[in-house]
Structure 1
């Protein structure tokens, strides 16, 4: 493509890390050095650590922002084990392509980029039902992997490379970044349903979930409004494209809580992170109202709810371009 005159609109950076088996030390060290500029320049990160561990099932541990991009790519690439069938077709036959998309996990090579730096990331891996037994042992070698895969190592690697290529090509070349900016509205809607279920109990304790409902509505409307504006704009105009892309590429970053210390709580993302400020911690605490009411801590819950709400409202305001503010009569 380059020989034929193609030039990407955006840069591609190829990196290789050390100390991946010790908590992704190499990647995290690099992130710490470039953290201040990443949310202004980095669009997405692809992790290919242990990418070929089989030739049967594709797993994509991913930020929701990349789901549409991934869905489009698996419809284009042939499955390495089933000639004539795309990865999408094969997944649908085996119970649904949604099984491919999985949440980021702590030991993933992609995790730190999203949870620590606020950059949409995905880790792609081909596996099979019987786990490859030699990884991280002296017996691990290309020839042994080739043997376990029945000679399919080359074709599996090619399928994965084509899959990444399809996604990277769009990220590097499309006028507007193909990220699903509305994805987190659905995630927070699930929390709203949980809060609604316990609404009477919370109010009896003097706790109002109204701020969360308001912030979720603001984010949902902001994302929908931005998407509609993009759909009806002249995306070939450089100034217009730059304006929208700047908003889109900061969505993930604005889900990093500004209310916890990056030193004490490095994984500040309220959806994918680790700590008391996260959606998962809030949901687990809320569940105590049913399972063990005596362990429910109202003071802690107020703090959790406030931190999550402020972060979500900040993301909504950032998406619309407003200066961060909340004008609300509810108090915690």
Structure 2
């Protein structure tokens, strides 16, 4: 009734009219003026100042309605009075009929209906192809034979980042994207990296005996020459160094000899630096690697990603940057040595006996086992190019999933880069063909990215993230990493954001390998235990997840649980012949399956009305961390009452955890009670989903000093895992522990979770939590 009175008032006062899907047309003495009124509060929202619903403001012929001013003659006034009465009566009737229906919102299944089954009305959405047809088309176009041909095109004996061979491969990828009719472009960066000495060499000398000249190297090592006593430290993990410290072994100035594996080279060096070591030597042990005794290892030791000389910002113009370095650059020397060199050193060490399980040798090393280490790496400036192609969406073209693959490598890099690049290009060809020739219309866009300088620590990808951080934060909703996707055939591993777990599970049951679904072949009874693994710092998807807050996914075929991992990554032996031997010459077939797995996930994310992300998966992770912190706080308050005040309570953290759980459940209800055929409604819901990962990035720390700001999956003192470790240190009165610092970290972590919950809950007026 109020709306009807308001409309009458506007007619007689000559106010401008609002036009919606409901209209009433009357001819008055040949005048084509049209009278229109609002009949739903929902429409008020659609035509509000935020532009939502603007696509509905057209008539059936697609022409905008036109309003003309009424002439206030007596005759017209009588006609208008009659029209107003008629409008009033119709408004009452429609309001009466509509009232019971507004009490309950329409319920739609979140699953996608086909276009033919949907009730006809103009929504602006692209017609949907049946999902089974989408899967069938992809399997027809992405074939092992096509991939085998791509292997030959994109394989090279050497294509180090910034080299002419790397540039040639980039040009090939660019040309393929252009041929497929994709919008294509390149992104140029000037980066600084460490390379082996162009003249001279790195070397070690044990006990002033024979000098060993080294060909393998670790980029971003400290530079210079040091002399110290050798100390064997197993894999160089934090627990290994704690065990040595518990044995009262002096580690100051020692040259740490550690095995490759378990953790990244960078983490090994960072752990040794905390013990005040002077250098780290890394070798492939015979129990982990079946490499020859003279095979060298290559890698980097930057505890981070991207160009470490432009931390937190992009290397677009090398002439504009102030001199600064990443906090993840090591100050100590780091170098790889061969297995043969390491075995000769280990056989001569004295000192204490090895702890149980530390290997076949007897002694850890003593103060007399001196070693001189000299590293002469050179800092080099290089120009690199990332190459991109995009298939634009038909509804939300400014929202996109990104598929990326490293293009460069230290040597042949067949498993590390060639397979991934080939799958990337073939997926681009296949999906482009589906759009051009088969009627597939993705709702959202797909970006294909070929990265350079991945071998130096995801440099190309991270520089892109840093350069377009603001643009990507609410546009890129998923990253799928194609590096190293085939390294064996008997196992299958996935590392991903918890938001993607349900989608991964469904995809495992859809994609077959040799006629058997990946789920039945590898998941067994518990897919999360048998397939999921944590995402490591040196994974190319990690900066997307922990630095940019983009839900990310990385996966690979592996040799299986009973066999050693693929041996040749980071060596000059990563060739097609070696990978054929590791997979029984099934590389094209496995690459096809891997491509379909990545393709299914990408296509599902751009096909459905709503992003298939399970917000509830983070509930258990947050809750388990809160339970640990609560228990440890009580222990510290009991054992070290001076360090933590009795007044400290975990209640606020518990409430923040509950707020997130409540917000995620409420969004699920909103989805059930929303019209998912409404384009704007879907966009609003998807935007709420996309805020989750981004809002787990702590806003209270510097991305320059601590780039991986994710409080659940990142690294640094801001994470919930770090809070737990800090409480353990407080419990033992460790000198590194600080009660005041813990209280600060605790408060900021609590509000980060609460802030994520508030953002997920929706608009500010929808919040029901008091600050």
- TM-score, normalization: structure 2? 0.41
Deviation at 1:304, TM superposition (A): 1.4
Which structure has the higher relative contact order (CA within 8 Å, separation 6+)? 1
Deviation at 1:200, TM superposition (A): 3.4
Quick one: which of 654, 667, 682 aligns to 1:226? 667
Is residue 87 of structure 1 aligned with residue 521 of structure 2? no
- Higher mean displacement: 190-199 or 249-258: 190-199
- Match of 1:257? 698
Distance in 2, matches of 1:104 and 1:230, equals: 30
Q: Is the 8 A contact 2:632 2:728 kept in 1?
A: no
- Higher mean displacement: 197-206 or 214-223: 197-206
Distance in 2, matches of 1:275 and 1:310, equals: 17
Deviation at 1:97, TM superposition (A): 1.2
3-state secondary structure, aligned to 2:449 = coil
1:285-309 CA distance string (max 9 Å, x none): 123355x245542112101111111
Deviation at 1:134, TM superposition (A): 2.4
Distance in 2, matches of 1:201 and 1:141, equals: 54
Deviation at 1:31, TM superposition (A): 0.6
Where does the alignment leave 5 or more consecutive residues of structure 1 unmatched? none
Note closer, same or farther for the CA distance 1:267–1:119 as it changes in structure 2 (3 Å cut). same
Deviation at 1:57, TM superposition (A): 1.1
Larger relative strand fraction? 2
Quick one: which of 532, 535, 552 aligns to 1:101? 532
Q: Is the 8 A contact 1:313 1:326 kept in 2?
A: no
3-state secondary structure, aligned to 1:106 = coil
Distance in 2, matches of 1:267 and 1:221, equals: 27
Distance in 2, matches of 1:302 and 1:322, equals: 30
Q: Is the 8 A contact 1:118 1:254 kept in 2?
A: yes
Is residue 78 of structure 1 aligned with residue 512 of structure 2? yes
Deviation at 1:199, TM superposition (A): 4.9
1:25-84 CA distance string (max 9 Å, x none): 1111111011011111001000111111111211111110111111100011113xxx33
Distance in 2, matches of 1:18 and 1:315, equals: 34
Quick one: which of 431, 456, 460 aligns to 1:26? 460
Matches within 5 A, 1:1-332: 1-2=434-435, 3-79=437-513, 83-93=514-524, 96-98=526-528, 99-128=530-559, 129-201=563-635, 205-206=644-645, 207-288=648-729, 290=731, 292-295=732-735, 296-323=737-764, 327=770
Equivalences, count: 323
1:229-281 CA distance string (max 9 Å, x none): 11232211112101100101111000111111111111111111111101111
1:8-35 CA distance string (max 9 Å, x none): 1111111111221222111111110110
Deviation at 1:194, TM superposition (A): 1.2
1:182-213 CA distance string (max 9 Å, x none): 22221110122113323534565322111100
Distance in 1, matches of 2:649 and 2:763, equals: 25
Q: Is the 8 A contact 2:523 2:531 kept in 1?
A: no
Deviation at 1:147, TM superposition (A): 2.9
Distance in 1, matches of 2:500 and 2:542, equals: 14
- Higher mean displacement: 310-319 or 292-301: 292-301
Note closer, same or farther for the CA distance 1:144–1:200 as it changes in structure 2 (3 Å cut). closer
Q: Is the 8 A contact 2:629 2:723 kept in 1?
A: no
Distance in 1, matches of 2:763 and 2:742, equals: 28
Note closer, same or farther for the CA distance 1:169–1:265 as it changes in structure 2 (3 Å cut). same
Distance in 1, matches of 2:762 and 2:681, equals: 15
1:97-154 CA distance string (max 9 Å, x none): 1121122210001000011001000111111132222223222222331233111111
- Higher mean displacement: 133-142 or 62-71: 133-142
Distance in 2, matches of 1:104 and 1:134, equals: 21
